[in-house]
Chain A
Amino acid sequence: MNKLVKTQDVTYEYVRRDDDGNVENIVNAIEGINISIEEGQMVAIIGHNGSGKSTLAKHLNALLTPTEGTVWVDGIDTSNEEKVWDVRQKAGMVFQNPDNQIVGQVVEEDVGFGCENLGIKTEEIWERVADALKSVDMYEYRNASPNRLSGGQKQRVSIAGIIAMKPKCIILDEPTAMLDPRGRKEVINAIIRLNKEEKVTIILITHNMEEIIGADKIFVMDKGKLVMEGSPREVFGKVEELTEMGLTVPEATLIGKKLYDSGLPISLPVLTKEELVSEIGRARLSKFR
């Protein structure tokens, strides 16, 4: 399959300066990152606060360019300044705070904003906006003011604004962090549907482990370095290591692990509630046999 996003030894130095502009110290926000993401995948990047996951995300659509190393998006080197706008069209980005990324005064105007920037013809903008709003189930709100929407709805409008630009991948930087449980569910369902039905590559940065059980791949970041990578089953199998980094695991995984540790012979790791129930059932049966 095609490698859509690839990074090689990416390091980003964050230079802190004092009031006189002298260099106080240099911190590597991320260091030696090598990842590759295939087209059509849904991958997740998890990590503690300050682990560098947002910094990495900003590299993937050229908002930041690496101090060392290279990032390729669909074959384009992001540090090539002439191609910056191509990169941003190919890799769209959704941010955490839904209020701070909506530009338009009406939902449809906001969704069209990216297309206007790309210089797309008026008629086509209208088509794209309608399709994008339908794909996140917000079409009936197209004439509403963003101020009247709930957090989850605003976030879906933001996603539609990116989809209208027809990107190859969407990077979502903690899109559900400021939402209530219902809004979270709406947004995550919209993301999963885009991945499954429209085959858009999704890069989801999150704190909430329940959201990424269905991901194809998980990257774990700690202190600016990539420390783990693998399928959810591989990553969540290492409960102790994750806990040491200050990360949680899905509830079912944790309960499964605890049960195993206290002597119940279930096969680890358990990812979902349903899996846990059937595993416990199986373990009890084998015990009584």
Chain B
Amino acid sequence: MLRDITLGQYYNTKSVIHNLDPRTKILGTMVYMVSLFAFNSFWTYLIAFAALVTVIVLSKVPVRFMLRGMKAIFLFLIITVLYNLFLTQGDTIFSFWIFNVTIQGLKQAILMFFRLTFLVVGTSILTLTTTPSNLTDGLEALMYPLKLVKVPVAEIAMMMSIALRFIPVLTEETDKIMRAQKARCADFDSKNLFKRIKSYVPILVPLFISAFRRANDLATAMEARAYRGGDGRTKMKPLKYKAGDWIAYTSMLIYGIAALAITVLINFQIFMLKA
């Protein structure tokens, strides 16, 4: 049953977005996130929305997969919206009991709603179109400058990729241990929350012991295959930028400039009106 968990949430299909270099996608996602926080007018959000729709269409990933991430933050989203709606000071539209709904509050609530939605959908495009191993490679390449301050970038990436490799192995093991403990009358479905948490201890202990043993074995096996850290290693699958990546970077630049231009224009207008 635990084995059914798919690794990450990669959606396997062929599209221009899937084909992009992971570095491009990670940077693109970062640009998008920054733009959502930096700009907050109606027109910039319209551009952000248009950009999002374009990327979704290009990625060929069904929209319901993108919205899946929304489930996780649903409660958070509702609380944020209500908080902004009722607790922002300003010109009251209407009020009841102790709540005051203001124009500013309404605007802020709508803004927050779209900001969070775009954020979640935008980042999920990254994970939906990039395999975990590609993602690690991309992160390794982008973290490369940190090497100057002695951060062991290659080793961190190796750790991440080994962790990914062993997730299915360890889930299978958990499954096995659970069944073994069930055969000895362990009760994992107790209604009492405290009891239920306690019942997981006999799973965690053998799981940790076996994980340590595996780690030890793997370290020996890696050493036997001449692994000596990141220095002097070559890459079997080096990252290479293709034409599509340059188009993507150009689009990012245009997007950034457009959003910035609109913000400047609007602020200029407000300034003129005040003057």
Contact = CB atoms under 8 A, between A and B. Distances in A.
Instruction: Bin chain A's interface residue count.
Output: 35 or more
Interface stretch (A100-108, A180-188, A226-234, A272-280): A100-108
Nearest to B216: A100
B236 A129 contact: yes
Interface of B: 132-133, 161-162, 164-165, 168-169, 213-214, 217-218, 220-228, 232-238
Nearest to A161: B225
Given A97-B217, A100-B217, A105 B236 contact: no
Contacts of A129: 236
Contact of A120 (B133, B218, B234): B234
Interface string A216-240: 0000000000000000000000000
25 contacts: A63-B220, A85-B226, A85-B228, A88-B224, A92-B225, A93-B221, A97-B214, A99-B214, A100-B213, A100-B218, A101-B221, A102-B165, A103-B225, A104-B165, A105-B164, A108-B236, A109-B236, A113-B222, A113-B227, A114-B225, A117-B228, A117-B233, A119-B234, A120-B234, A126-B236
A116 B164 contact: no
Contacts of B226: 85, 88-89, 114, 117-118, 165
Contacts of B233: 116-117, 119
A97 B161 CA distance: 20
Given A115-B236, A116-B234, A117-B226, 11 more contacts: A95-B217, A95-B224, A99-B214, A103-B165, A104-B165, A113-B227, A117-B227, A119-B232, A119-B234, A121-B234, A122-B234
A146 B172 CA distance: 14
Which of B161, B218, B221, B233 counts the most chain A CB atoms within 10 A? Answer: B221
A112 B238 CA distance: 12
Given A61-B224, A114-B225, A161-B225, A105 B217 contact: no
A105 B8 CA distance: 13
